[in-house]
Copies of this chain bind each other. A is one copy, B any other.
Amino acid sequence: MKIVLIGANGTIGREVQRKLREAGHEVVPVGRSSGELRVNLEDRASVAALFRDLGAFDAVAVAGGEVAFKPLASLTTEDLVFSFRSKGIGQIHVVQEALPYIRDGGSFTLISGVTGREPIRDGAAAAAVSRAVEGFAMAAASELPRGLRVNVISPTVLAESMPAYGAYFAGHEPVSGEKVANAYLKAIEGRMNGDTIAVGA
């Protein structure tokens, strides 16, 4: 399959690239701030332009999106709007804008995170956005035409990210990027629709 991978240069994205290529797929890497192809998930026009220029493809996977990490009392309207726009509405627009170009039977694989499943310090905005993405996929699955599917990967903290984010995840069992990438492969090649695949506890 030809798979468009948004957030291809992040910690998860690099592992997903490798895994999908190992499985024989063609990956079109898209970055936020690096690489040949770029997209700004906060800007629907940028998302639309990406797909308009790509030609046909079989799947879209998202491995990035930003949210504000702050204590509840410090979260501003701007923090919340930014978080919902980047990782929430941004991923919704990916599905909407890719729809005219994706081939029959294709799939969308979005990303949420453990913040939607467990209370993580400073994670109130992240929790809201993660769950929003999962709810969207549940409902949007029922609207997709032509055998298309949409699912969400909800990874816990990655082993590779523990040096940077370990203070938020004391006692958590991190997962390998390889295991998270495997969940993307499962969502893309599998038959589930509207589901969230939790990776790690």
- With contacts A128-B92, A131-B134, A135-B130 taken as known, whether A81 is within 8 angstroms of B80 at the C-beta atoms is no
Inter-chain contacts of A177 with B (CB < 8 A):
none
* A92 neighbours in B (Cβ, 8 Å): 75, 80, 124, 128
CB distance from A160 to the nearest CB of B (A): 24
Of A5-13, A17-25, A50-58, A82-90, the one contacting chain B is: A82-90
| Closest-CB distance, A133 to chain B (whole angstroms) | 7
- With a CB–CB cut-off of 8 A, which chain B residues contact A134? 131
* Partner of A132 from B99, B128, B139 at Cβ < 8 Å: B128
Which of A44, A72, A96, A125 has the most CB atoms of chain B within a 10 A radius of its CB? Answer: A72
In the complex, which of the residues B99, B127, B139, B140 contacts A135, with contact meaning CB atoms closer than 8 Å? B127
> Copies per complex?
2
Q: Give chain A interface residues in 78-109, CB to chain B under 8 Å.
A: 80-81, 84-85, 88-89, 92-93, 95-96, 99
* Residues of chain B within 8 A of A138, CB atoms compared: 116, 119, 127, 131
Chain A residues engaging chain B, CB cutoff 8 angstroms: 44, 71-73, 75, 77, 80-81, 84-85, 88-89, 92-93, 95-96, 99, 115-116, 119-121, 123-136, 138-144, 194
